[in-house]
Amino acid sequence: MLDQIKARQADHRLSTRQLARQLEVSPSLLSMVLNGKREPSKKLVISLTRWLSEQVSSGPQSPSSVYRRFISEKRSQLAELTAKFYEAKLAPFTVWCEQFPLPIVSEIGREHISEFLAHIRAGRRARTGGVKPLSNGALKLHHQTLKTFFNYVGETCDVPETWKNPVDGIKVKGSQSQTLEYSDTEIQRMFEVIESNTDKLLSLRNSAMLTVLLNSAVRASELLAMNVVDIGQDGRTKVTGKGSKQRLVTIGQSGQVAVTDYPRIRGNHSGALWQTFDGNRLTSDGLRGVFNRIADTDPDVFTDGLYAHRFRHTAITRLLRARVPLRSVQRYAGHSDPQTTLRYAQAIDVDEAIAAVETLNY
């Protein structure tokens, strides 16, 4: 049975975590079962048997078939991490369609999308135990990805003339938790939490990472790809962003000091700039773990958690507040579309307008 499960899991490109979510079991437990390190419970055997027995729609118009074509196309057009993002968000939807079942993708209606979003909102197993519902922001990502997928359905599949994207008209409230500018109080508290760590090398690394993120406005992937030799004596470094486009950024004077101290203390001046205890390059999961531990230390301050993109947003917003020209900020941040940078500027304009009005005295 394990071979059948692994074959079907591979066919649908489901990670163990995604499959565990469908079966409503712990990912670590499922991993041990699939690797033969633990016998499955009777309840899990029943769940796995039911999952295997559910009919798989494999016709050219089935959700799983269209999904595979969609992902294949995205892999040829987009960066690997972006393609993986689409894969992670859409795989649960194709499995849910099989369970419904919904064998023809063009017959999926708005009511089905609403049911799936309600299903996925139920959430995931939380780190502290139990199930944590998805936030509005997380649900919005599923909503946006589904809209893109069904646009692809309309462009590539045989659909009726009256067909409309079933995601259109479904409103999902977004979240500002990943795009709000960090306050000085929040930033100060982050460094306090990091400096309280008894492991001084780890504290030094994490402090340096936060300093570089706040100074450089780089993306998480760009941060993690940095090597020690990439940092020039003036603090400038080239990063490769979306579309393999390179640009020049600076880590600032405080970043130079932090980045100089960290490799010196760890005794290794080569290879990846941000390393684990084992000397391996820090991964995106590792970076997320750093942020989660900081946020968990003081949930009253970090009510929305910590996100790498929010550091980038903070750095860009502060450049604009410092009156750096919009075009210069666009190029520094690596935005291909000036409208992306303009959204940051518009938020500042509103803040300044409100502040000005509040000073008026008639």
Domain range summary for the chain, segments of one domain joined by +: 2-156, 184-348
Reduced to 3 states (helix: H, G, I; strand: E, B; else coil), residue 357 is helix
CA distances from 15 to 5, 12, 56, 58, 313 (A): 12, 9, 18, 20, 30
Q: Check residue 207 and give its pLDDT.
A: 93
The tokens for 49 are 């048997």
Domain 184-348 class, CATH top level: mainly alpha
Reduced to 3 states (helix: H, G, I; strand: E, B; else coil), residue 76 is helix
Q: Check residue 1 and give its pLDDT.
A: 77
Q: Which residues pair with 248 in a beta bridge?
A: 238
Under DSSP, the state recorded for 117 is: H
Q: Residue 272: which of 209, 341, 353, 348 has the closest Cα?
A: 209
The tokens for 104 are 């023809």
For 210-261, write each residue's pLDDT tens digit: 999 999 999 999 999 999 988 888 889 998 888 788 899 999 888 888 888 8
Taken in order 69, 75, 77, 78, the sign of the CA dihedral is positive
Please state the pTM of the whole predicted model.
Answer: 0.58
Q: Check residue 174 and give its pLDDT.
A: 59
Asked if 139 and 149 count as a contact pair (C-beta separation under 8 A), the reply is: no
- Regions of the chain with pLDDT less than 50: 56-58, 125-128, 178
Name the pairing type of β-strands 131-132 and 124-125: antiparallel
Q: Check residue 274 and give its pLDDT.
A: 93
Kindly state the helix (H) or strand (E) to which residue 250 belongs, with its residue range: strand 246-250
Reduced to 3 states (helix: H, G, I; strand: E, B; else coil), residue 227 is strand
The tokens for 184 are 């000085």
Q: Check residue 275 and give its pLDDT.
A: 92
Q: Check residue 132 and give its pLDDT.
A: 65
